[in-house]
Structure 1
């Protein structure tokens, strides 16, 4: 990949020392696109634990486990409010009368205590008990998707299984029509392709997503069903009944999170299994170990990169950060940090410390982590039970993407029939 495909470098602000600069484009770095976690291991060896990059408008990257764990719990310094309430109010006054509501993804783009108010109604929907009730239907869909390609002796895993499985499960949970799943996926792809955190572009994208969901939301208000949208109409936020604005705020978060992240975890996990036939054999012989394998795969191939904005000036682990600076919680690096995990690059089913932060830490810990775990574990169980030893197609290598979710775009598998 040529230098020209990288986003332009911006000048280094005066407050950032040269020793903390590392030229890394989290969207287009050639090494990241060639093999993401290998490139991340290389960065851990060569870059500072916290560094500033001039790419994508200039921002901090938190690499070490300690930096990520500390920052994710310190919401007073590392804020999730990219569009502060006062700025949002000002932007609304500039819109012509009758303009549509500008949604913000809640609770992910709020800080405590507001974050807590909006998160509480969702806790019940994503509780371990609620998710356990979905396990059989997830297993049935996984089995159907695998059986559809079994006789072919090959598949492009991402489009055949990894995308339709979590996306269909989530649309059904949410109450959105399955017939529109490809259109919804395209909206999410468009939203996540933004290579910088331009508030105007983010707002336009979220308004588009909210508009796509609005007819179903209003239908569920008038004719409730057994789904999340219907349930959200019944809850109260801070003692007040839910409004269509609340619904759109919740909707954009659930839509973006539910229709993208897990499929990337599936891609990384299945690629690892395809490269390690002896691990497949071990798990087929001992299916009870699949849960342990799922946790170690999540640690070894963590894939989300949550953004933050500095709410105040701070000296953070030797890095002089200023209010308004952007910072990325580079969780894939945190879970490969040798200071936290011995031989971090080694997949170790018997690893004593598997306490990863693939789902983040602190108040913003992933609400859907129980669902993701069930989907990943069920997928691995069904792949191993229904297919013979599968491997990567040597003629068609995998393709990857960077960004806020470091993931797999294309994964060709083959097996003997």
Structure 2
């Protein structure tokens, strides 16, 4: 098990009741790093459904499905605007001439109605029809990656398949050069690991991401091609032509989401399959069940942890929250809540009323959910079709990470070649 130093403990605010304090570090909790979803099942039994932790700068953790659902939909209280738009505009206007733009990942950092204005143009880019047209090219890449390791009798799944598959798909969609894949992944990984509390550092990392994309952004404006960047240049935002600042804002969001999030879902799903030989056999015999199987795997191993800031005093599940409080929406715990999903620890193919919130709910529901679903479904299909029964390597157990996207750092699979 990975050992990591806990972050310093922050003082408890006066409005936080003593019985709602629970010591939990989202990056370094030992149980989370040993087996994240097992730890969350334990938290749901031992911690309040909404609690305050002194770690990671101090803030609220929302565990229950009901509280996560309520908070995700109430953007007036649970805001995504860590810096109000007017303040951000004033700060940008005050920059000296020639200073680099500070990108903000829109629309995820906005609340309605501003959020709607910037999200709407992206809907077409990530529509089910657009994504469906990518299925066969995703399948071709997945097949090539799997065939590349098949004869070896095993692989380190994250680096061999889970990372290159969604990353290459997304780089191609965006129109970014594939030969810079390693550089791009390093930038995103650094950003995700250091995202808590370091506002100045975060801005610098976002500038680094924008700088890594800028040549391609400008080239596509002059020479449009069949990719997302070219499509975005052709859009209007609130009736106005897209600017380079708009493109950098969109770009950093898509860059982070496309180059990090889905690979974690893939790792967790394949671990789930590797641990369930009976399920593997059933899906090989009845591949038409794979889409349904992927949905239950999304519920069982949900992986994203959105962050909000309180804008108005509110009470949720007995917890009084004040303006400025930070809230982490633990969707992976919400989808393991026994009050919503009977026997939540059990992977149940054919589970009734499987209304999971792996992709969030409300205005900020994940724009890339259609793409993620197709990638996961195709991965299941190709892994099961091209490989014999695969299992975890007992000599090299998986290494997990916590944070804003829970996932696997390394996972070794074995099969009989």
Same fold at TM > 0.5: yes
Could you tell which deviates more after superposition, 194-203 or 88-97? 88-97
Alpha-carbon distance between aligned partners in 1 of 2:123 and 2:197, rounded to the nearest angstrom: 28
Superposition map of 1:297-376 within 5 A: 297-376=297-376
Task: Say if 2:224 is the partner of 1:208.
Answer: no
Alpha-carbon distance between aligned partners in 2 of 1:149 and 1:67, rounded to the nearest angstrom: 43
Structure 1: gaps of 5 or more residues: none
Q: CA RMSD in A?
A: 1.2
Aligned to 1:262: 262
Work out whether residues 4 and 28 of structure 2, in 8 Å CA contact, stay in contact via their aligned partners in 1: no
Residues 162 and 277 (structure 1 numbering): CA distance in 2 closer, same or farther, change over 3 Å? same
Could you tell which deviates more after superposition, 238-247 or 91-100? 91-100
Secondary structure of the corresponding residue to residue 5 of structure 1: coil
CA shift for structure 1 position 320: 0.8
Secondary structure of the corresponding residue to residue 51 of structure 1: strand
Q: Note the alpha carbon deviations across 1:277-318, whole angstroms, 9 max, x for none.
A: 111000000000101110000000000000000011112221
Q: Note the alpha carbon deviations across 1:9-60, whole angstroms, 9 max, x for none.
A: 0110111000100000001101000000000000000000000000010010
Alpha-carbon distance between aligned partners in 2 of 1:197 and 1:157, rounded to the nearest angstrom: 32
Secondary structure of the corresponding residue to residue 124 of structure 1: helix
Q: Note the alpha carbon deviations across 1:242-279, whole angstroms, 9 max, x for none.
A: 00000000000000001111111110110011111111
Alpha-carbon distance between aligned partners in 1 of 2:130 and 2:52, rounded to the nearest angstrom: 41
Secondary structure of the corresponding residue to residue 347 of structure 1: coil
Q: TM-score, normalised by structure 1?
A: 0.98
Provide the aligned length of Structure 1 versus Structure 2: 417
Alpha-carbon distance between aligned partners in 1 of 2:275 and 2:21, rounded to the nearest angstrom: 35
Aligned to 2:282: 282
Residues 96 and 260 (structure 1 numbering): CA distance in 2 closer, same or farther, change over 3 Å? same
Work out whether residues 135 and 374 of structure 2, in 8 Å CA contact, stay in contact via their aligned partners in 1: yes
Aligned to 1:50: 50
Q: TM-score, normalised by structure 2?
A: 0.98
Secondary structure of the corresponding residue to residue 362 of structure 1: coil
Alpha-carbon distance between aligned partners in 1 of 2:364 and 2:29, rounded to the nearest angstrom: 27
Aligned to 1:115: 115
Superposition map of 1:66-81 within 5 A: 66-81=66-81
CA shift for structure 1 position 84: 1.6
Alpha-carbon distance between aligned partners in 2 of 1:392 and 1:43, rounded to the nearest angstrom: 26
Alpha-carbon distance between aligned partners in 2 of 1:3 and 1:57, rounded to the nearest angstrom: 20
Residues 269 and 3 (structure 1 numbering): CA distance in 2 closer, same or farther, change over 3 Å? closer
Work out whether residues 83 and 199 of structure 1, in 8 Å CA contact, stay in contact via their aligned partners in 2: no
Aligned to 2:62: 62
Alpha-carbon distance between aligned partners in 1 of 2:244 and 2:89, rounded to the nearest angstrom: 18
Work out whether residues 2 and 33 of structure 2, in 8 Å CA contact, stay in contact via their aligned partners in 1: no
Secondary structure of the corresponding residue to residue 350 of structure 1: coil
Work out whether residues 27 and 195 of structure 1, in 8 Å CA contact, stay in contact via their aligned partners in 2: no
Work out whether residues 15 and 320 of structure 2, in 8 Å CA contact, stay in contact via their aligned partners in 1: yes
Secondary structure of the corresponding residue to residue 363 of structure 1: coil
CA shift for structure 1 position 93: 5.1
Superposition map of 1:12-27 within 5 A: 12-27=12-27
Structure 2: gaps of 5 or more residues: none
Secondary structure of the corresponding residue to residue 260 of structure 1: helix
CA shift for structure 1 position 196: 1.5
Work out whether residues 56 and 195 of structure 1, in 8 Å CA contact, stay in contact via their aligned partners in 2: no
Secondary structure of the corresponding residue to residue 320 of structure 1: strand
CA shift for structure 1 position 3: 9.1
Work out whether residues 309 and 324 of structure 1, in 8 Å CA contact, stay in contact via their aligned partners in 2: yes
CA shift for structure 1 position 76: 0.5
Aligned to 1:155: 155
Q: Note the alpha carbon deviations across 1:117-159, whole angstroms, 9 max, x for none.
A: 1111110111110000000000000000000000000100000
CA shift for structure 1 position 96: 3.0
Aligned to 1:34: 34
